[in-house]
């Protein structure tokens, strides 16, 4: 049975492997991006003939597109449970959304950002530009050390610009209790910024009313992880913040009037949507949300949990395979692992080239978390940085990540297990070629073609 898979574009596609075989492609890289729902493709194809630029245009295409674009904004608002005191801004992706917040967030001298070592770089690097970042570490299970997080919030009470955290890890799939953390932050006088890019395709989002102690002040996520990969991100933020001051990006659509010296910025959210927006991308995201509602998060989660349990059990039973991250609690279908004696890049290459399985290897834009899970200390980290700066990426640390989606089926897990078992037993082509500059392995040119 294909189940949900029949609703997603590309399921069942066959690919030619370097060794000459042809196999059905197995997508185990959903944590990076998801393919589109078929309903999304149909929906934007239906709108495309009437596409036009939004706002201020009096022509038919502009009116149709403006209406569709603003309806998409309202769909997103309902999807996350935002009210009148919260605004929805469309961006290019989660990274841009967080940079928007970092540029618009009120920050005073002496303020700090509280965060964790588990964050994606998109929820780390922008904050370094505006204030010192103080991070909670991880506990023995690989989850955020909540005792340390609460201690940091308490110690910096009254001078915290924001608590910036992920709703779920893109490395291990660990789901975080962000509403509880929000209540802690608010009790210390700080807003919370939640990177929900990894969680949104798997769990319902609820920013809650601003009067609720556990409400989420800022929430960001991306359409490309929600079966609508057409270049749209979402920023949900307090109206009172976005309606103050100049926008992060200035340009067309952000003003009411301009003269030689002065600018009158327009109202939000248009103030923070400089230039021509990705109208079809916003509409695609709204349709993906409608499809998720039709399917139901409970049914989607049950599907994922069954496959994730099968995946973790199967990999754990293979000798020489080590899984990373928590073994229990709420987790998404994201599994990070290594095979003893086999570099992560080589393992991922074998899975792709000989088994037709798409995974991802490396540090997944979460270097601090991956290094913590691997036990890499500061001295080894500095040595690695020196070698990489010199153009040598042969020893870049990392893991292999397999991540499930709605188009995953039990046969995919079985094939991945077969591939990992073969790698652990050394049953793969000899002579894979390592490129020192990229750290990537290439299928051996001397391997026989089957």
Active site amino acids: 365
Inter-residue contact 225 to 200 (CB < 8 Å): yes
Local structure of 129: helix, strand or coil: coil
Inter-residue contact 129 to 102 (CB < 8 Å): yes
CA distance 374 to 399: 9
Residues 210, 212, 217: CA angle, nearest 5 degrees: 40
Q: Which of 75, 81, 304, 128 is nearest to 202 (CA)?
A: 304
Local structure of 283: helix, strand or coil: helix
Instruction: Give the relative orientation of helices 38-47 and 279-295 as an angle to the nearest 10 degrees.
Output: 140
CA atoms within 13 A on the CB side of 350: 26
CA distance 194 to 26: 31
Write the CA distances from 245 to 18, 100, 241, 248, 325, integer angstroms: 55, 13, 8, 9, 42
CA distance 362 to 166: 19
CA distance 225 to 323: 24
Residue bearing tokens 């793969």: 428
Terminus-to-terminus CA distance in the chain, angstroms? 30
């Amino acid at each position: 049975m294909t189940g949900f898979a029949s609703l997603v574009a590309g399921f069942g596609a066959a690919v030619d492997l370097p060794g000459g075989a042809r196999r059905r492609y197995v997508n185990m890289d959903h944590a990076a991006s998801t393919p589109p729902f078929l309903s999304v493709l149909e929906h934007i194809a239906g709108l495309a003939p009437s596409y036009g630029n939004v706002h201020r245009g009096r022509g038919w295409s502009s009116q149709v597109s403006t209406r569709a674009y603003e309806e998409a904004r309202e769909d997103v608002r309902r999807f996350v449970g935002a009210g009148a005191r919260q605004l929805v801004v469309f961006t290019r992706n989660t990274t841009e959304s967080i940079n928007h917040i970092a540029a618009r967030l009120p920050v005073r001298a002496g303020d700090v950002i509280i965060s964790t070592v588990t964050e994606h770089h998109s929820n780390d690097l922008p904050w370094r530009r505006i204030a010192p970042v103080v991070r909670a570490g991880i506990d023995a299970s690989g989850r955020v050390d909540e005792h340390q997080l609460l201690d940091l919030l308490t110690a910096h009470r009254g001078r915290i610009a924001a608590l910036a955290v992920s709703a779920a890890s893109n490395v291990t799939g660990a789901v975080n209790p962000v509403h509880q953390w929000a209540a802690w932050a608010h009790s210390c006088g700080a807003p919370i910024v939640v990177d929900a890019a990894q969680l949104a395709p798997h769990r319902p989002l609820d920013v809650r009313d601003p009067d609720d102690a556990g409400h989420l002040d800022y929430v960001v996520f991306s359409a490309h992880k929600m079966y609508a990969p057409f270049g749209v991100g979402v920023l949900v933020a307090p109206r009172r913040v976005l309606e103050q001051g100049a926008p992060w990006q200035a340009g067309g659509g952000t003003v009411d009037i301009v003269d030689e010296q002065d600018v009158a910025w327009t109202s939000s959210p248009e103030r923070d949507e400089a230039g021509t927006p990705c109208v079809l991308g916003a509409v695609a995201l709204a349709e993906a949300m409608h499809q998720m509602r039709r399917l139901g998060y409970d049914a989607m989660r049950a599907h994922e949990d069954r496959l994730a349990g099968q995946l973790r059990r199967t990999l754990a039973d293979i000798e020489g395979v080590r899984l990373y991250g928590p073994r229990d609690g709420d987790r998404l279908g994201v599994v990070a692992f290594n095979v003893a004696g086999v570099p992560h890049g080589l393992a991922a290459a074998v899975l792709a080239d000989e088994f037709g399985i798409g995974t991802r290897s490396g540090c997944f834009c979460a270097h601090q978390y991956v290094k913590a899970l691997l036990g890499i200390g500061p001295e080894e980290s500095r040595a690695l940085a020196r070698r990489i700066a010199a153009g040598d990426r042969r020893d870049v640390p990392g893991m292999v990540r397999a991540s499930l989606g709605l188009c995953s089926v039990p046969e995919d897990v079985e094939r991945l297990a077969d591939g990992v078992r073969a790698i652990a037993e050394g049953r793969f082509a000899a002579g894979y070629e390592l490129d020192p500059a990229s750290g990537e392995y290439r299928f051996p040119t001397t391997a026989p073609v089957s």
